[in-house]
Structure 1
Amino acid sequence: MKILVVGAGAVGGYFGARLEQAGRDVTFLVRPARAQQLQRDGLRILSPHGDLTLKPKIITAQEIVSAYDIIFLSVKAQALDQAIKDMTPAVGPQTMIYPVLNGMRHIRTLTKAFGERAVLGGVCIVIADLDEQERIVQIAPLQKLTYGELNGEITPRIRALDDTFRDAGFDTELSANITQEMWQKWVMIASLGLVTCLLDGPIGEINAVPDGQQTVLQAIDECVAVATACGFPPPQSLIDNILKQATLKDSKLTSSMYRDLKKGAHVEVDTILGDLVDYGHSYQVEAPLLQAGCVRLRVYQNTLKSTSEKR
């Protein structure tokens, strides 16, 4: 199957490279500046599973001339509208759009743009970042893609996608309940993102101070309560896993939101925390830490925007 990876950042670049390394037909849709850098340096990965440098097939929006079978959509939330414009010529009647964005808002946006049939549900688990040399650095060994039809059916096309992604150097799962899986990831990243951004430090440093762990536990409780009120209660096994990660006093664990914050980059506050706050209000769920974290990051975002406009 012909795969178009939209975005060659930490997520799309990593999984797209592994797919190409496994012999799949992969093309990366990138912006002109990233295209020049990839042509010059190649797509470079530093990983516990083995380093990799390859010269990927790349394309810009103006060069798309035909539809693809699978579109692997891995951009940040703030880039979604532009990505939709760029990838529209690559979407045909049989194209499957596999998004791995955080939260749930992007599903509504994509189905509005391309129709319900085109859009799959997806969850990506990987901890990776771009370094100052534009290399993809995988920080921890976790690497998994989960996918499924939003209506839960196991269709021939989702089996074909599963066949394409499976045995490509990372873990995969075909899910009959992908919406629940997406909510579970949302609770996890919101919990870790909330505490590290609001309290401004790695998990271990937060837990090492008086009342730190209690604040972490309250933040997790709030995120779980909102998901439960919305009809997607996380299983106890997931809650236990979050608690295990979030209560270690010697942990250097951070979140992608926190790393973006520290780099002075755009943070996905609205899709990760803001939407949860709105759902909480809708269901009368008290979530003061979640609300405070959202306000803190929106103030940061406005300051960032204001500074950028003055330059």
Structure 2
Amino acid sequence: MTVPERPQRAASDSTLIRVALWVAIAALVVAAVVCVVWVLVGTDNDIVGRAFLTILLLAAFAGAALLDARLAPRRPAWFALASMITWVLILLAGAILIWLPTPYSSYYYPSGVERFVAFLLIVLVLQLALLHTRLMVKAHLRFVTPFTQVVTFVTIGLVVVLAFMLVIPLTFSEYLDLPSLYWRLVVAIAILAAVGTALVPLVNALFGPKRPVRQAPAAALQPWPTYADGVTPLPVMPDGSPDWNPYYTGYPSTVSQAIAPVAPHAPVQPPGAPHQPGWPPAAPHPEQGHAAPGYEGYPPPPPLPPRS
């Protein structure tokens, strides 16, 4: 007996979400312990301000973790785990920027504003890398081929490497003096990641399945009007409209064409009766007071076509 795939996938997604929550809890505890150790054994240089910033950082991380936990059921499980790991890296970078001492060999003392701007840039870089990964996987799943699969995973790997290569100098800018080769590699990886990002949508547009064009629903065909007998169809006018004259008089107009070779609906002389000059009788005139059905001797108005 085989187990359905959907329950297995749901159990796997639930496991990944629980792992993400445990990662957030562990990171929060470890960051708090490390910050407490720095408070106890570190220098007294602006310790109150750093402790206050640490409390704000931990509160922001807890809020982000709770938000990710609430959004996890509506997201892929791998994305929920990746998002939590991203917030853990942001927490780690923020703690380092808060408690990292100034090197004695530094020519200038960095201000808190500079470190805060560096922290915002780190958040922006990591979140953009996470968003890029989500969009790449979503575009890849539209049309899966061996080529697009390789390009997708290679591009995601390049973007992750690029994000780390940008985060490291932003975090340790006061301690690192990176050579020009490092930044040349950053530019080269960025170009390759951009090429890989553009390849997957282009392949999808060229070879992927096209979305069906939605057509407007066809209008309901109305039944063709008939003579007063309800059976014989009315003739057609040159413009395609029904000739309503036969409905009232029994005779078509001179310019209309019959739909079928049906004799006009006219009175018939009784068999065996002598021929009379005035036969067949003319259509009643509205001014003549004949007691005929309808209005003033004319048949009743045609029925309205049924509405869909």
For normalisation by structure 2, the TM-score amounts to: 0.23
Higher strand residue share:
1
Larger radius of gyration: 2
Higher relative contact order (CA 8 A, sep 6+): 1
Greater fraction of residues in helix: 2
